Amino acid sequence: MSGDLRDLYQEVIFDHYKRPRNCGALDAATHRAEGHNPLCGDQVTIDLKVDDGIVKDVRFEGAGCAIATASASLMTEALKGRRVDEVEALFRRFHDLVTAEHEQDDAGLGKLEVLAGVREFPARVKCATLAWHTLNAALRNRPEPVSTE
Ligand code: ZN
């Protein structure tokens, strides 16, 4: 990855950390789950409104490090209007992106690819995937909070 691209990625992450999108509770949520990453102290709640198999709205609440917050914010932007089965495929691709040993040329993940750099920092992978694991639990209506440990 070129230095310029890396700088751009860091700018996007910082922007989403400072001004998180879709932050706050969602009225009339149909799905909700809480997630916790004890290693870093990140905590997130994901609220979803699913109607007819489509994610109509998604919001998150919580406190976390820059990576956890930016990842949750970017995730909410990526999900709106998607079918639930698309969301699961997206999660698998995102998980591959942040854990793969080699850079992929084009993972087809759009803006989410700014988080690819965390693969160099294994502890940060949990920060980047916390919102996604929590989302998964919300979609499955799991009552117990999610933990990355
Ligand atoms: Zn973190």
At the top level of CATH, which class does the domain 3-147 belong to?
Answer: alpha beta
Residue 24 φ/ψ region, left for φ over 0, alpha for ψ in the -120 to 50 degree band, beta for the rest: left
What residue spans define the domains of the chain? Answer: 3-147
The two tokens of residue 27 are 């009225």
Query: Distance from the CA of 66 to the center of ligand 1, in angstroms?
Result: 7
User: Which residue blocks in the chain are alpha helix, DSSP H?
Assistant: 3-18, 66-79, 84-99, 122-139
CA distance 48 to 16: 20
What distances in angstroms separate CA 29 from CA 25, 26, 56, 141, one per listed residue?
8, 6, 10, 12
Percentage of the residues of the chain whose pLDDT score is greater than 90: 75
Query: Distance from the CA of 71 to the center of ligand 1, in angstroms?
Result: 10
Query: Distance from the CA of 36 to the center of ligand 1, in angstroms?
Result: 10
Query: Distance from the CA of 64 to the center of ligand 1, in angstroms?
Result: 6
CB environment 44-53: b (16+ within 10 A), e (fewer): bbbbbbbeee
With a threshold of 0.75, does the pTM exceed it? Answer: yes
Query: Distance from the CA of 16 to the center of ligand 1, in angstroms?
Result: 14
Residue by residue, pLDDT tens for the chain (149 residues) are 667 778 888 999 999 999 999 999 998 999 999 999 999 999 999 999 999 999 999 999 998 999 999 999 999 999 999 999 999 999 999 999 999 876 666 668 889 999 998 988 888 999 999 999 999 999 998 778 899 88
Q: Rounded to the nearest 5 degrees, what angle is found at the Cα of 122, between the Cα atoms of 142 and 75?
A: 50
CA distance 139 to 29: 11
Query: Distance from the CA of 65 to the center of ligand 1, in angstroms?
Result: 4
Query: Distance from the CA of 89 to the center of ligand 1, in angstroms?
Result: 24
Query: Distance from the CA of 123 to the center of ligand 1, in angstroms?
Result: 8
Query: Distance from the CA of 122 to the center of ligand 1, in angstroms?
Result: 11
Query: Distance from the CA of 106 to the center of ligand 1, in angstroms?
Result: 26
